[in-house]
């Protein structure tokens, strides 16, 4: 991506994000959230975050790989468990990285 297109994307992303943030703070009293939109918005975090994570865990070199050799998938599942039990972002980060490093060490040492 060339520099111009990149800055165009950054400026556009900034403008869109600001508009979303300002929306109801600016419009309060003038409009109401449409019911269907508010019902859809409720599912956006769970849907988007999952859609970001899944390819990063399951895809290895452009193909889905579900095996014990997929260290990122295993470490990711461990992180899900940690996040679920502790609800702590730092513990999830530290635990997930720790499991990944452990698996990589085990993998290279051939155990």
Partner 1 sequence: MTTTISKADERTYPPGLTTTQEVAHSRRDRASFRHGSLTSQLDETTPSPGAAFLSGAKSIIPVLLALLPFGLAFGATATGNGLSAVEALGMSVFVFAGAAQLAAVPLLSAGASVAIVLLTVLVINLRLTLYSASLAPHFKRLPAAWKGLLAYLLTDQAYAATITRFDEGETAEQDKRWYYLGVAVAIWLTWQVATMTGVAVGSWASEGWSLDFVLPLIFIAAVVPAIKDRTTGAASLSAGLAALFCASLPLNLGLISAALVGVIGGLAAEVIFGRSGR
Residues 23-82 that bind partner 1 (CB under 8 A): 23-35, 38-59, 62, 64, 72, 75-76, 79-80
The answer to whether residue 105 forms part of the interface with partner 1 (CB under 8 A) is no
Least spacing, CB of residue 97 vs partner 1, in Å: 6
Report the alpha-carbon distance of residue 94 to residue 19 in Å, rounded. 35
Q: Which H or E run includes 44? A: helix 44-58
Report the alpha-carbon distance of residue 106 to residue 21 in Å, rounded. 46
Minimum CB distance to partner 1 smaller for 23 or for 69: 23
Considering just the CA atoms, what is the radius of gyration of the chain in Å? 20
Tell me the three state secondary structure of residue 59: strand
Please select the residue that binds partner 1; options are 69, 104, 105, 107, rule is CB under 8 A: 104
Least spacing, CB of residue 106 vs partner 1, in Å: 14
Minimum CB distance to partner 1 smaller for 58 or for 110: 58
């Amino acid at each position: 991506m060339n520099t111009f297109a990149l800055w165009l994307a950054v400026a556009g992303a900034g403008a869109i994000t600001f508009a979303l943030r300002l929306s109801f703070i600016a419009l309060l009293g003038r409009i109401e959230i449409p019911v269907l939109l508010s019902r859809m918005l409720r599912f956006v975090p769970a849907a988007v975050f999952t859609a970001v994570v899944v390819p990063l865990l399951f895809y290895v070199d452009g193909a889905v790989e579900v095996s014990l050799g997929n260290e990122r998938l295993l470490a990711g599942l461990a992180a899900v468990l940690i996040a679920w039990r502790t609800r702590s972002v730092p513990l999830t980060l530290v635990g997930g990285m720790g499991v990944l490093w452990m698996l990589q060490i085990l993998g290279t040492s051939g155990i």
